Every structure is written in structure tokens, then in C-alpha cells.
């Protein structure tokens, strides 16, 4: 942060842009970061490109919805340019009223595609934050022309842009699989407000005092609930498995059907989405991540803040960098047998997670790194 001659910290004006605020990890990160910056004296605006919000908006945040109301039959053909124009207009109006933004951060790929077309934004002040492993999300099921086209479109968005990666892997993946050469790149972990997490974790939980495993994440193919259920069934652990998260009726239906076929339907608890999963995490004996990829792995750090042991697949992304030292014992290969073995090991002989140094993920440390982006 820049200091004046009198030693006072200067407030920065920051704009976060995201494609809506449904109950996902990246969305929670943006709100946590915005709240942290506001508490440190900065002025923060959050422009959402959809009128969906499953989280509480922090006090003092300038929250605006830049919704697309076009209903013309050909709206998809002009969506990106049309929405970029609307976003440009909103940014210009905000800057006319309250001054220029010192830092603009775009979050999630659909947002990035729109922001990259904005003509009003200064390229040197605009950063694109990568929250996931793009090759896993966008290339896994593509072949031939579709694969080539997606690589080309993605390269056009990020080529010679300022890139933030929530882990080193996500940046390396973008450069390797899409031939992107960033203008500047930074690795900045996701932020966690330790006090807020611990306070929220003290709320009541109906499972308190009972042994159980927990998985927190939306019902999406990359989260691999199928692998989780098969591994859980293989462990023979009779304590319940709690699933927190939401998804389409089709996706949840498939997992419920799998639980029935594995004979574990009475031990799998579908809790659904909750804006405060921390009491459930805190009282669990073990948290499991079963994904094919994780840009960062927020829930792993959240569990460790709550002093709960973790198991994760050794998937592309952040888990390997989070689970080091004694925690590495909880890493499993991307198969059912390996995951089941890791679950049994950590369940039976959990590591001591009460004295871990997690300061690298603190809101204080992460806010400083974001503000440093404004200083050249």
C-alpha cells in the first residue's frame, strides 16, 4: 500500500467483476476478499453480471447488478459484445461519480470473456483471476475442431493479459494447454478470515457429538461424488457421510441412485446448500475432497482452520500445495481404492492439525498482495 508523506495509508479504489453470486467457492472468495479490503480502508465495488446471489453482501460494498435484459432470438450471437458495452457504461458511470479504479479484477471464465472486450478498462490495471484448472473444465471432453476452437477462443481472452492464479498449477495449465503468454502473472492464494470462520463454526450443528465424514461442494462432474461414494462404501466405515452442496435434480438424482445401488443410502446424508457449512465442518471427524481437479481447494483450508483432518485426491490444482508435511499422508490417487485407503488411514490415525501455520492464507496477507498490484 502506498504511504503519504505523513505516513498515512492511501485508500485504493477496487472493482471486482463476477458472473453472478450463486453458492460456489469462487463467489465466496470474491466476497471475503471484498470484505477484507473494505475493513482495511479501501473502497470496493462489486459488479455482478447476473441477478443471482446466495450470500450476504458485506457492509460497505458497492454492489451492482449489470444484468442482461436482451430477449431477442439472436441474443446469443451478440452476447459478449453487448454485455461488454453495458459493463463499460456502468464502469464509466461509476468512475464519473467516485473516481477512477486503481485495480480491476475479473473472476471466472465467462466474466473474463466479457471483460476482455471492454474498451474503457485500462489494460495495465485489469487482472484476470483464474480459479480453476481450465484444461479439466473446458477441454476434457472436446476433440477435433471443437478442441481447437476452444483453445483459440481461450487464448484470445488471456493472451498478453495480467493473470492471477489461485495456485501455480492453474497458471501453468493455461500456458501449457492454451499456449497463453501472460503479460504479468502472480500467484495469490484464496483469502480466509480466520476469526469469521471460527465464529461461524461455533453455531449449532445437529450432528455435534456424533462421528461423521463430510464433503462440501456442488454436485458437478469434476467434484466426483461417484468416486467419493464408492470409496466410502469400500472403507466399511459405518459413521455417516454428510454431503453439503447443491446441484441439478439430474446430478443429485444420479448420486442418490448410486448410494442406493451401493447399499449405503441410509448412511449418506444429503444436507443441501447452506451459506454456513462451518459448524458441520467443525464437528466432522474428517473432511474429504474427491475431485478430478481443484483450482485451489478452499474447503481444505477451511477444515484446517476448524482443526479438522482432511483427505483429498492428488488432483491437478491446489490440494498438493496445501497438504504438505504430515498432511500429505491424506493425499490419494485418482481412483476409488486409493481414496478409500487414505480415508481409512486418516480416520483411524488422524494427524495433529491443531498447531498448523496457516498465515499464508490469512485475509491480511492476501489483501496486501492484491493492493500491491496497484503499485506497479
CA 137 to CA 349: how far, in whole Å? 34
Does the predicted TM-score (pTM) go above 0.75? yes
- Say whether 194-348 and 13-192+362-375 share the same fold: yes
For 222-252, what is each residue's pLDDT tens digit?
899 999 999 999 999 999 999 999 888 899 9
**% of the chain at pLDDT higher than 90:** 83
Where exactly are the structural domains of the chain? 13-192+362-375, 194-348
- pLDDT of 3 reads 41
- Quick one: which of 109, 108, 104 has its CA closest to 88? 104
For 141-164, what is each residue's pLDDT tens digit?
899 999 999 999 999 999 999 999
Banded model confidence at residue 376, pLDDT cuts 50, 70, 90: low
- pLDDT of 69 reads 79
- Quick one: which of 262, 235, 220, 315 has its CA closest to 243? 220
More confident site: 140 or 251: 251
Of 42-51, 67-76, 193-202, 290-299, least confident by mean pLDDT is 67-76
- pLDDT of 6 reads 40
CATH number of 194-348: 3.40.50.2000
71's CB contacts (< 8 A; 6+ apart) are none
Rounded average pLDDT over 278-300 = 95
Dihedral angle over CA of 113, 97, 363, 301, nearest 10: -30
| Class of 13-192+362-375 in CATH | alpha beta
**% of the chain at pLDDT higher than 70:** 97
What letter would DSSP give residue 192?
B
For 17-48, what is each residue's pLDDT tens digit?
999 998 778 998 999 999 999 999 999 999 99
- pLDDT of 5 reads 37
In terms of residues, how long is the chain? 376
CA 169 to CA 182: how far, in whole Å? 14
Banded model confidence at residue 181, pLDDT cuts 50, 70, 90: very high
Amino acid at each position: 500500500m502506498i504511504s503519504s508523506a505523513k505516513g498515512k495509508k492511501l485508500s485504493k479504489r477496487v472493482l471486482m467483476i463476477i458472473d453472478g453470486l450463486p453458492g460456489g467457492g469462487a463467489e465466496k472468495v470474491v466476497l471475503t476478499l471484498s470484505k477484507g479490503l473494505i475493513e482495511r480502508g479501501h473502497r470496493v465495488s462489486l459488479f455482478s453480471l447476473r441477478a443471482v446471489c446466495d450470500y450476504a453482501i458485506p457492509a460497505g460494498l458497492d454492489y451492482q447488478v449489470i444484468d442482461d435484459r436482451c430477449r431477442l432470438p439472436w441474443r446469443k450471437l451478440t452476447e459478449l459484445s453487448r454485455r461488454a458495452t453495458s459493463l463499460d457504461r456502468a464502469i464509466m458511470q461509476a468512475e464519473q461519480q467516485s473516481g477512477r479504479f486503481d485495480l480491476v479484477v475479473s473472476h471466472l471464465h465467462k466474466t473474463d470473456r466479457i471483460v476482455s472486450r471492454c474498451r474503457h478498462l485500462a489494460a495495465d490495471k485489469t487482472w484476470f483471476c483464474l480459479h480453476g484448472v481450465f484444461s479439466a473444465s473446458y477441454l476434457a471432453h472436446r476433440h477435433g475442431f471443437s478442441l481447437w476452437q476452444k483453445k483459440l477462443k481461450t487464448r484470445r481472452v488471456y493472451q498478453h493479459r495480467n493473470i492471477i492464479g489461485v495456485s501455480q498449477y492453474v497458471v501453468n495449465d493455461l500456458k501449457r494447454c492454451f499456449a497463453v503468454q501472460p503479460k504479468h502473472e502472480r500467484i495469490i492464494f484464496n483469502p480466509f478470515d480466520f476469526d469469521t470462520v471460527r465464529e461461524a463454526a461455533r453455531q449449532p450443528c445437529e450432528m455435534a457429538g456424533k462421528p461423521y465424514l463430510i464433503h462440501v461442494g456442488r454436485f458437478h462432474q469434476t467434484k466426483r461424488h461417484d468416486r467419493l461414494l464408492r470409496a466410502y462404501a469400500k472403507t466399511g466405515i459405518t459413521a455417516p457421510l454428510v454431503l453439503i452442496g447443491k446441484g441439478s435434480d439430474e446430478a443429485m438424482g444420479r448420486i442418490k441412485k448410486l448410494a442406493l445401488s451401493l447399499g449405503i443410502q441410509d448412511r449418506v446424508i444429503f444436507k443441501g446448500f447452506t451459506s454456513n457449512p462451518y459448524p458441520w465442518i467443525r464437528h466432522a471427524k474428517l473432511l474429504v475432497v474427491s475431485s478430478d481437479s481443484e483450482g485451489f481447494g478452499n474447503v481444505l483450508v477451511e477444515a484446517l482452520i476448524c482443526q479438522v483432518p482432511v483427505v483429498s485426491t492428488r488432483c491437478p490444482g491446489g490440494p498438493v500445495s496445501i497438504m504438505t508435511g504430515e498432511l500429505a499422508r491424506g493425499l490419494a490417487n485418482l481412483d476409488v481404492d486409493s481414496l478409500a485407503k487414505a480415508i481409512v488411514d486418516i480416520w483411524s490415525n488422524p494427524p495433529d492439525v491443531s498447531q498448523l501455520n496457516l498465515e499464508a492464507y490469512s485475509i491480511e496477507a492476501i489483501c496486501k498482495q492484491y493492493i500491491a498490484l496497484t503499485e506497479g
